Amino acid sequence: MSDNLKHPLDSTVSEESLERLSKVARIEGFSDEEEAEEQQGLADSESMNPVNPRVQRYLVAIEYIGTRFSGSQQQAKDRTVVGVLQDAFHKFIGQPVKIFCSSRTDAGVHALSNVCHVDVERISKRKPGEVLPPHEPGVVQRAVNHFLQRKDGDVMVIDVRCVPSNYHARYKAQERTYFYRLLAGSDPLSILEKDRCWHVPEELNPRSMQEACRVLVGYHDFSSFRAAGCQAKSPMRYLDELNITEVPSTPYFPSITERAWSNLNNGDPLACSSQPKSETAGVTTNVGEVEGSTDGDSFGRRRRHRCYVVTARSRGFLYHQVRLIVGALKCVGTGELTVSDVERILEAKTVSAAKPMAPASGLYLARVKYEFP
C-alpha cells in the first residue's frame, strides 16, 4: 500500500482502519497509487501554471482518425493530434497555445471522444494589448473546427466547456472507456473497414471470451498486461467493466430480410420501389430479393462479417493494457487459449506470459468521464 494517501493519517490509526480505507478505495475504483498520482499531478500543474485571471480554460472534447497521426502527444517532427489542434487554435486566436490531453493514444488508435484542456487569453486584434471577455464555448467549437476542416479534416471538436483555471483534463478524469472492434469471418475485409478494426479470419466464440472477461474484472496486478516502457508507478488497476458484445457490422445497411420485415410492420410508408411485392416465408419482400436466392440479383453482394466490440472501463489504464487484454481474449475466442490460461497469464505478473497484443487500428477511446463543479 502506498504511503502517500489522499488524506494524511495519524500514526495511531490501526491496521484495521488502514485495511478498511484500502477496501473503500478499491470499491470506488480508485487505487491508492492513482490517488497519489492525481494529487501530485494537480500540485505540479498548479505550481507550473499560476492562475491568470485574464485567461479562460476550456475543456475540449475531440474525435479523430488515429491512423492519420503518429499518436496524440506532440512530437518534434511527426504529425500528431495535439500538434494539429494547437495549430488550429493558433490560427483562431492569433497566438500559440499549449494543449494537454486527458489520455494519450498511440499511432493508429482512434478517438470517439478524447478530452483536453487549453488556456486562451482573448486579445483584441484591432487594439493589441486590450483583453476582451472570453469567447463562448460554441464560438470556440465552430471557429476551431473551421480551421481543422480547411486542412485534412481528420480531427473534429465535438464539445467545449468553460472550466476553472485549475481544472486539469488528465487528473480530473473520473474514468475512461475504450471500445475495441473485431470483425470475424473468412471473407476479405472491406476496404471501407480498413484501419478501423481487427480482422480475425477464424470464427470467434463470444461466450468463452465473456468468461475470460470475468477473470480480469476487478482490482488486480496487471503486470502481464503492461507493455515495456509503461511509466505508471504501480501495475495495480481496478477494471470496472470488461465485456464483449456482438453488434451490427458497419458501414451498416439493412439486409433484404431486415428491409422486408420493416416494410411489413410499418406499412412501407416510404417505399419507392416499382417492383411488385410477393409473400415469401411469411415475410414481404421485393420479387427476386429473397435472402439466399441464386439468381443474378444476388451477384455482387458482400457477405457480412460477425462484428464484436470489447468494452473496457476504468479510471486509468496501463500502457497497452487494453490491446494486450484483447489479444488474449481473441485467443480464447479462437480456442488457442482457455479461460484457465487467462488466469495463469494474470497470475504470472509478467508481460512475457501474454499473447501478442491486438493491433492499434481496432481501438477507440470512447469516453472520458468528469464531474464538474
pLDDT in tens, 131-145: 899 999 999 999 999
Tell me how far apart the alpha carbons of residues 170 and 370 are, in angstroms, rounded to a whole number. Answer: 10
Residue pointed to by grid coordinates 460477425: 306
Domain at 145, CATH number: 3.30.70.580
Task: Mark whether 237 and 351 lie in a shared domain.
Answer: yes
pLDDT tens readout for residues 144-153: 999 999 888 8
Overall domain count for the chain: 2
One domain for residues 223 and 83: no
- For residue 205, the domain's CATH number is 3.30.70.660
Which of 136, 162, 188 marks a domain boundary?
A: 162
Please tell me which residue in 87, 106, 119, 240 is annotated as part of the active site.
Answer: 106
Domain that residue 146 falls in? 54-162
Domain C-terminal end among 162, 188, 217: 162
Q: Mean pLDDT lowest for which of 228-232, 270-274, 284-288, 308-312? A: 284-288
Among the candidates 162, 195, 211, a domain finishes at 162
Give the mean model confidence (pLDDT) for residues 190-198: 93
Classify the C-alpha dihedral 90-96-100-103 as positive or negative.
Answer: positive
d(CA 92, CA 58): 14
The answer to which of 63-72, 238-247, 268-277, 291-300 has the lowest mean pLDDT is 268-277
User: Looking at the structure, do residues 146 and 180 belong to the same domain, yes or no?
Assistant: no
- Distance (Å, whole) CA 168 – CA 278: 61
**What pLDDT, in 10s, does the model give residues 63-96?**
999 999 999 988 878 999 999 999 999 999 999 9
| Claim to verify: residue 204 and residue 334 sit in the same structural domain | yes
- What average pLDDT does range 181-197 have in this prediction? 93
Cβ atoms within 10 Å of 52's Cβ, excluding its own? 11
The least confident of 119-123, 169-173, 267-271 is 267-271
Average pLDDT for residues 196-220, to the nearest whole number? 97
Q: Which of 84, 137, 178 is nearest to 369 (CA)?
A: 178
Question: Is 141 in the same domain as 183?
Answer: no
278 pLDDT exceeds 50? no
Q: What is the pLDDT of residue 328?
A: 98
Question: Catalytic annotation on 106?
Answer: yes
pLDDT at 41 over 90: no
pLDDT at 300: 79
Find the Cα–Cα–Cα–Cα dihedral 43, 45, 50, 51, rounded to 10°.
Answer: -90
| Kind of pairing between the strands at 110-120 and 56-64 | antiparallel
* Residue 167 belongs to a domain: no
**Of 164, 167, 155, residue with least CA distance to 102:** 167
Neighbours of 151 (CB within 10 A): 12
Do 147 and 200 lie in one domain? The reply is no
